[in-house]
Chain A
Amino acid sequence: MSKDQGKNGDRKIICRCEEITEEEIREAIREGYTTIKAIKRRTRAGMGLCQGRTCSSLIQEIIAEMTEKKKEEILPDTVRPPLYPVELSILGQEGEERDVFSEY
């Protein structure tokens, strides 16, 4: 059973990919990890397959609620390539140069 089935009551998943709960995020903030990056390093939230697409703004909300920080001060995590997961066999291709506009 996943950590987040409704029956379990108040256990709320924030990062779905890594199954990090709201309580784990709050605990990290209480320990002093008050940026999205620091929380990622502390809890793994945002390190999964979707790379924080969903949880980033949820974590931002929680930080804003628990600290004095304004939302504009709670910066998103650094975006890293690739923007989509790529299989290593494809990644290893020499990478054709796209044939763009032969007349150009």
Chain B
Amino acid sequence: MMIKNADIVIIGGGVIGCSIAYNLAKLGAEDIVLLEKNTLASGSTGRCGAGIRQQFGTEMNCILARESIKIFENLSEELDYEIELNQGGYLILAYTEREVNQFKKNVALQQSLGIDSRFITVKEAKEIVPPLNTEGVLAATFCPTDGHADPFKTNFAYAEAAKRLGVKIYTFTEVKEIETKNNRIVAVNTDKGKIFTSIVVNAAGGYSGVIGKMAGLDLPVYSQRHQILITEPVDPLFRPMLMSFSHNFYCQQTPHGSIIMGFGDPNEPKGYDMGSSWQFAREMAQKITAVVPLLKEVSMVRQWAGLYNVSPDAQPILGEHPKMSGFYMAIGFSGHGFMLAPVTSKLIAELILTGRTSLSIEDKLDVGRFERGELILEPSVV
């Protein structure tokens, strides 16, 4: 039987929602309810590429990622649940002069923020990833503390820890309606019943726009399919995440041995379609076998798709909506939700409970920045 009142209702059982629930409870909040229309990690978290990187091109993303990595490094102990963090680094390949220049700027920015990334030669790149085909590669950047973790385990780790702290998690419970009055949240209506609350946290990932509409808000995000494929497990070939912006792909070997890869299709329409296309599998195979020819013999076993929730500057939107008191958002992660979850969830929790954050984000990540025209576009996105 679902409870009827809650202090805070979080919508979305992905890593964002679960980590927010955990951080709220950790800071002492009570009567927290999390609603998930399917199972935990059934949306973008469970479909993502699992990468964690700090090599971004905007100051805010860099800082968030740096802080996130710090949390990730101790997360297994903190949550008492092995999340399989593997800091094998990110190797980002530059194929054009333009990229070389951008990467130099990025690295300078990153280093100024205390991130241990560096600009490296092709030879060094080859040493880091021996099976790499260096043809056409002009240079690369490498950050050894980047890496990946298991998104399912991370999601479940947060959920279990939140439950231990008293958070109530309802799966297969779909939010149908958000009741508001005088620009304040009143209640959340689900297919299992109504919960009265004054605070709602929109952590609905690909569907955050839909949740916004329920509260009468037009949120500046859209959803877009990103496809991904995975191979059979093979012997360890390389540790870092391999990435290229001009060839537009990422690829990593999981601890389990499977190789997971994806790319963003610039022609992909906005929407909620999560079907699998033949073109994606073919193009992905072409891209990756050109860069790592050793993978030619490896078999793909599965392909799927998930939704990016994209914001206008490819940086997340965090905070309360100025037009709806009690409506908080952790949305628009633009493909970086998993890697940014540990820090953004902490910030949102602080914001909800104290009105302040330990990192200054209010004027940089709030939804108002778009209207103010303060767009700082993240250049490093796949």
Measuring CB to CB, which residues of chain A are less than 8 angstroms from any residue of chain B?
Answer: 31-33, 35, 37-38, 41-42, 44, 47-49, 51, 80-82, 85-89, 91-95
Give chain A nearest CB distance to B288 CB in angstroms. 7
Instruction: Give A57 to B231 CA distance when docked, in angstroms.
Output: 24
Choose among A42, A80, A86 the residue that contacts B299 (Cβ–Cβ < 8 A).
Answer: A86
Query: Given A49-B232, A81-B281 in contact, is the A91-B46 Cβ separation under 8 Å?
Result: no
Residues of B within 8 A of A86 (CB): 299-300
Choose among B41, B276, B296, B300 the residue that contacts A85 (Cβ–Cβ < 8 A).
Answer: B300
Instruction: Give A32 to B295 CA distance when docked, in angstroms.
Output: 38
Interface of A is mostly: loop
Instruction: Give A49 to B256 CA distance when docked, in angstroms.
Output: 13
Instruction: Give A35 to B276 CA distance when docked, in angstroms.
Output: 23
Instruction: Give A81 to B300 CA distance when docked, in angstroms.
Output: 9
Among B276, B281, B303, the most chain A Cβ lie within 10 Å of the Cβ of B281
Residues of B within 8 A of A91 (CB): 281-282, 285, 300
- B302 contacts chain A at the CB level, 8 A cutoff: yes
Give chain A nearest CB distance to B236 CB in angstroms. 18
Choose among B39, B281, B289, B301 the residue that contacts A49 (Cβ–Cβ < 8 A).
Answer: B301
Residues of A within 8 A of B160 (CB): 31
Instruction: Give A94 to B295 CA distance when docked, in angstroms.
Output: 17
Residues of B within 8 A of A42 (CB): 152, 156
Give chain A nearest CB distance to B359 CB in angstroms. 31
B302 touches A41 (CB 8 A): no
Choose among B39, B282, B288 the residue that contacts A38 (Cβ–Cβ < 8 A).
Answer: B39
B14-47 interface bits toward A, Cβ cutoff 8 Å, 1 = contact, 0 = none: 0000000000000000000000000111100010
Residues of A within 8 A of B288 (CB): 88
Give chain B nearest CB distance to A49 CB in angstroms. 6
Instruction: Give A90 to B299 CA distance when docked, in angstroms.
Output: 9
B39 touches A88 (CB 8 A): no
A33 touches B39 (CB 8 A): yes
Question: What 7 A-B pairs have minimum CB-CB distances, sorted nearest first?
Answer: A92-B285, A89-B296, A85-B299, A91-B285, A38-B39, A92-B286, A88-B285
Residues of B within 8 A of A38 (CB): 39-40, 42, 171
